[in-house]
Structure 1
Amino acid sequence: MICTSHSFQPVDFSEKQIIELLNGTQDPWLFDQAKLVSQQVFNNQVFIRGIVEFSNNCRHNCHYCGLRSSNRKVERYRLSTTEILDAVDEVALLGIETVVLQSGDDWQYRAETIAELIRTIKDRHNLAITLSLGDRKHQELKLWREAGADRYLLKMETFNRRLFRQCRPNANFDERLTRLSYIQSLGYQTGSGVITDLPGMSDEILANDILKLSSMGLDMLACGPFVAHSQTPFAQHSNGSVLKSHRVSAILRLLNPGAHIPATSSLDVIEPGARELALIRGCNVVMPSFTPAHVYARYNIYPGKNSATCQMQQRIALIFKKIQHHGLKPNPSRGDSKRNQYVPRC
């Protein structure tokens, strides 16, 4: 765990001020302040998490996602527990102390199967385990926490009820929001996030999303630009703005000095080098994929996702080099939340 003597109070932005910042009125100040806060709170460190995307099956039919249930062009896969554990072993072998287990909303994996997977990982390695498995039942979330899972990521994509309904047909807004609170109550280090420039999203909606996200006391905050996928109802919409996504991560940093904010791969899909740039604009986490090579490219939530062709060790070395290029220090340790009451303090 990394502790620091630096302390920053959250900035108190109004909705109007956030909208002005989203429009680029103070970019030099915004990015400079976000860089200062992020680097001093986290001692110039960027935390590395290894992600294993073990299934691209999903029961939801979100209009922005390539894995949507009605997309018949997806070559579906499910990894066995042995394949998942082999991938986790690779994460641990490279000295990375956090593994993120991610899938679509795939209920074919029984709750006890996931629980046993968590226990086995904990027996084998001293790793923090983040789950990103979508909408699951309360008893399942409780079981996995008791089995040893440390963190849970459940993105809302937007906190605007109307836009949520347009983007996520048949998903229940209130249930998902309630589930987020329940996850927090279980002691998970909890994360959520939004997609910037979703079709139908205004700056007013995005500003309110930022304020809502920041009011929840979350440990992890995610934001990334919308990327159009040809096999979705949003195929004809333009990709989101990288610059606006950077503004959002910077604003979130100033509102939430101690939260972990990942630089997402969607940034690089739209503009090569944009994920690296996000690390000096408020972000402090990078999550390279350790999904096995034979299914790596099939986790295609947006075009260009998991498109790297070099070997994993080369990928990690390149990520480290890019981080160090900016005077930052890649840190593969657990990097637990500074905000969560269940995490032991220094």
Structure 2
Amino acid sequence: MHPPPPSTPTTRAALLPLLTATGPTLRQLYARADATRRAHFGDTVPIRAIIEFSNLCANNCLYCGIRADNPRATRYRMTTAEILDAVRQVVATHTAGTIVLQSGETPGHGDRHLTDLIRQIKTEHPHLAITLSVGSRPKRTYAQWRDAGLDRFLLRFETSHPTLFARLHPGETLDQRLTSLRHLRELGIQTGGGFLIGLPGETLEILADNILLCQQHNFDMIGIGPFIPHPHTPLANQANAWAHDPDMFFRTIAALRLACPRAHIPATTAYDALFPDGRNRALQCGANVFMPNATPPAHRQKYQLYPGKPDPTTDPTQWAQATHQRLHTLGRPPDPGPAHSLIHPPRSSTP
């Protein structure tokens, strides 16, 4: 692990001024974060296309629209043929070098199917990087997926505060989540973590600790985004902790970039749900990855973690064109390659 540069914030005390910056100081923070991003990644933007292949979930996270106890969620699970066809459509756009297969958490259900699916995708598209985001599993299951060709795994811890985590995730503990992240790293899988910004009960200190936890784990990718209340969850009437200060969502990206200068940080879709130009702004204050939604339109509206999700009906050609246009407008051309980790090089021959 490379030691952090002298200017890298490594303590809560160093992060708090960044998270409360305003006026010229805030503009300087954004410029510094953007320069740090450019120094490590240049101006190209890796594209990672998301396929949300199932909204079945056994968990009951209080903030999530696909939680098990939401009877209004229309459940689905894409077939192998549907998933493979969606992957082929992504590849045909020549836009994305990574596919992200995402679903709710259903431990033990479909794990062998995922092993076979990963192997099929790698056989058909050997240069495509594969990321899974399906929740906590036993270490042996992660190993099976790795051996089938899995490159990366995204597992957000959501909050670094153990009590807040337990309150929001019935039946789960933060330690369990961090153990899964450690197992992924031990297996040589490129590992992504991350958190929600503004969960009810979050303080500035907790937010700073979220960033420090990412730094301590040296994640290859860090996905963060604002908490957006879903109307069919127990937190339906709870406002985002930073609703009065929307700059906080972008300050957090900038502070995270300074704390974790070599991590891939995506401009997540939730930013566009809150701001018309949300992902553009994220890319200008430290984020370097764009993740368009490649879920087939027939299923896309059923995968509603939060309300207001953009691009509900675009097909692959449309989202690819829109992505190219959006990034070129920012002077940030798309990178169609896999864009592997700068921190932990790939263990396989995938370029």
| TM-score, normalization by structure 1 | 0.94
Q: Which residue of 2 aligns with 1:169?
A: 170
Aligned pairs, number: 340
Q: Which residue of 1 aligns with 2:49?
A: 50
Give the secondary-structure state (helix, strand or coil) at the position aligned to 1:234. Answer: coil
Is residue 297–residue 306 contact of structure 1 (8 Å, CA) maintained in 2?
no
Deviations 1:239-297 (A, max 9, x none): 45542121111111111111100001111111111111100110011111111111111
- How far did residue 8 of structure 1 move? 6.7
CA root-mean-square deviation: 1.8
- How far did residue 341 of structure 1 move? 4.3
Q: C-alpha distance in 2, partners of 1:166/1:344?
A: 39
Q: C-alpha distance in 2, partners of 1:179/1:108?
A: 15
Superposed, 1:288-307 pairs within 5 Å as 288-307=292-311
Deviations 1:216-258 (A, max 9, x none): 1110011111101000111112245542121111111111111
- How far did residue 343 of structure 1 move? 4.8
- How far did residue 10 of structure 1 move? 6.2
Q: C-alpha distance in 1, partners of 2:302/2:56?
A: 10
Q: C-alpha distance in 1, partners of 2:310/2:76?
A: 15
Give the secondary-structure state (helix, strand or coil) at the position aligned to 2:50. Answer: strand
Q: Which residue of 1 aligns with 2:208?
A: 207
Q: C-alpha distance in 2, partners of 1:267/1:61?
A: 24
Is residue 37–residue 253 contact of structure 1 (8 Å, CA) maintained in 2?
yes
Q: Which residue of 1 aligns with 2:130?
A: 129
Is residue 297–residue 315 contact of structure 2 (8 Å, CA) maintained in 1?
no
Q: Which residue of 2 aligns with 1:252?
A: 256
Q: Which amino acid aligns with 2:215?
A: S
Greater CA deviation, 190-199 or 93-102? 93-102
- How far did residue 106 of structure 1 move? 2.2
The alignment status of 1:116 with 2:116, answered yes or no, reads yes
Q: C-alpha distance in 2, partners of 1:9/1:330?
A: 31
Is residue 81–residue 117 contact of structure 1 (8 Å, CA) maintained in 2?
yes
Q: Taking every aligned residue pair, what percent have the same amino acid on both sides?
A: 39
Give the secondary-structure state (helix, strand or coil) at the position aligned to 1:193. Answer: strand
Superposed, 1:225-304 pairs within 5 Å as 225-239=226-240, 240-241=242-243, 242-304=246-308
Q: C-alpha distance in 2, partners of 1:24/1:341?
A: 35
Provide structure 2 residue ranges, at least 5 long, that are not aligned to the other structure. none
Is residue 273–residue 310 contact of structure 2 (8 Å, CA) maintained in 1?
no
Is residue 300–residue 306 contact of structure 1 (8 Å, CA) maintained in 2?
no
- How far did residue 316 of structure 1 move? 1.9
Superposed, 1:303-322 pairs within 5 Å as 303-322=307-326
Greater CA deviation, 235-244 or 123-132? 235-244
Over 3 Å counting, the alpha-carbon distance change for 1:289 and 1:109 in structure 2 is farther
- How far did residue 13 of structure 1 move? 4.1
Deviations 1:146-168 (A, max 9, x none): 11100000000001101101111
Is residue 9–residue 257 contact of structure 1 (8 Å, CA) maintained in 2?
no
Q: Which residue of 1 aligns with 2:82?
A: 83
Q: Which residue of 1 aligns with 2:144?
A: 143
Is residue 263–residue 286 contact of structure 1 (8 Å, CA) maintained in 2?
yes
Is residue 300–residue 312 contact of structure 2 (8 Å, CA) maintained in 1?
no
